[in-house]
Amino acid sequence: MKTILNGLAACGAALALALSAGATHAGTLTLYTSQPEADATRTVEAFKAANPGVEVEIFRSGTSDLLTKLAAEFAAGAPQPDVLLIADAVTMELLKKDGRLLPYAEADVEGLAADSYDAARTYFGSKLITTGIAYNTAAAEKPQHWADLVKPQYKDGVVMPSPLYSGAAAYMMSGVALDPALGWDFYAGLKANEAITVRGNGAVLKAVAGGEKPYGILVDFMALNARAQGSPVEFVFPSEGVTAVTEPVAILSTARNVEDGKRFVDFILSDEGQKLARDMGYLPAKASAGRPDWLPEGVEVKLMPVDIGAVVERIEADKARFAELFGG
């Protein structure tokens, strides 16, 4: 990720000319997001309804592709977005380290967990997206723990998103690698058990729901929203804990429309914005916003403790190790 953000300098001059020619008009808020398309549309439409007269330009793609585009813009000296809404805090920490994020000290963080936003208030978690175990209802086994996936009866049955493409998967990889009870032995066990990787969480859901693979490592909302719509999928939060990305929002230090950028952050953190996240099927960052329909009262989600600073320091090395183990 660090390499991506610092690379692509060779294409800078040409891209700068192109971006300068196509720059958005004053007063437009430019948002780069890795949200699914339907969610991005709902988020922007709700924001515009709450802020009449604000126009929003969206670039939406996966985290890896989005960062590649942003790195090219940085290299050209012409970054386009005012606001980022992307998968994980690790990426935000790297951007913060490079001076790319604008502190917003006045942001209202009341009701947010202290570890869901940056202490320097350069980025703010919008929700909790956990990663657990999904399985097809016709599967022979009913996994309950991470260690189940490396048992002999799960051989050639597990699919997972590649951390080389998915921000949530990359965060889980480094979090698990740091966990003394799991560590790299877990991934080595998955490889020995002939687990396969796919490009993203959507491909995992498709494989599990379609019966191509009976078990998958998957983000919660995809599995549980699919189940609510009749897909033959069950989902487990392993009792030993799950990792969670927070889909943080941030204003770039190079933003041209800072005021509307602040309004966007305010909306995401507001009761209205948090209830929108809940209604879209996510765990809101504010517990007071309630629970999504798929999470019954009384069901507790145990989060695996993850040192974000340690993840930032090791994630690129972990990706290289994963690529060596599973292939790029």
Q: Is 159 within 8 Å of 204 (Cβ atoms)?
A: yes
Confidence band of 243 (pLDDT split at 50, 70, 90): very high
Please tell me the distance from the alpha carbon of residue 293 to that of residue 283, in angstroms, as a whole number.
10
pLDDT tens-digit readout, 84-119: 999 889 999 999 999 999 999 999 999 998 888 999
DSSP structural state of residue 82: S
Please tell me the distance from the alpha carbon of residue 159 to that of residue 154, in angstroms, as a whole number.
11
Torsion on CA atoms 314, 315, 321, 327, rounded to nearest 10: -170
Looking at every residue in the chain, the average pLDDT score rounds to 90
The predicted structure's pLDDT at residue 298: 77
Confidence band of 166 (pLDDT split at 50, 70, 90): confident
Q: Tell me: pLDDT of 278 over 60.
A: yes
- The residue-averaged pLDDT of 115-137 equals 95
The residues pairing with 252 across neighbouring beta strands, listed in sequence order, are: 101
Q: Tell me: pLDDT of 285 over 60.
A: yes
The predicted structure's pLDDT at residue 16: 40
Number of other residues whose CB lies within 10 A of the CB of residue 26: 7
Phi, psi of 297 (to 5 degrees): -60, 140
Confidence band of 36 (pLDDT split at 50, 70, 90): confident
The predicted structure's pLDDT at residue 7: 47
Please tell me the distance from the alpha carbon of residue 95 to that of residue 236, in angstroms, as a whole number.
33
Please tell me the distance from the alpha carbon of residue 177 to that of residue 184, in angstroms, as a whole number.
5
Going by C-alpha positions, the residue among 126, 105, 160, 148 that lies closest to residue 42 is 126
Confidence band of 20 (pLDDT split at 50, 70, 90): very low
Domains along the sequence of the chain with CATH: 2-126+247-289 (3.40.190.10), 128-244+302-326 (3.40.190.10)
Residue with tokens 């693979």: 213
Lowest mean pLDDT among 81-95, 218-232, 261-275, 291-305: 291-305
* Helix, strand, or coil (residue 53): coil
- The residue-averaged pLDDT of 187-201 equals 96
Please tell me the distance from the alpha carbon of residue 242 to that of residue 251, in angstroms, as a whole number.
28
Confidence band of 327 (pLDDT split at 50, 70, 90): confident
Lowest mean pLDDT among 42-51, 64-73, 295-304: 295-304
Q: Tell me: pLDDT of 165 over 90.
A: no
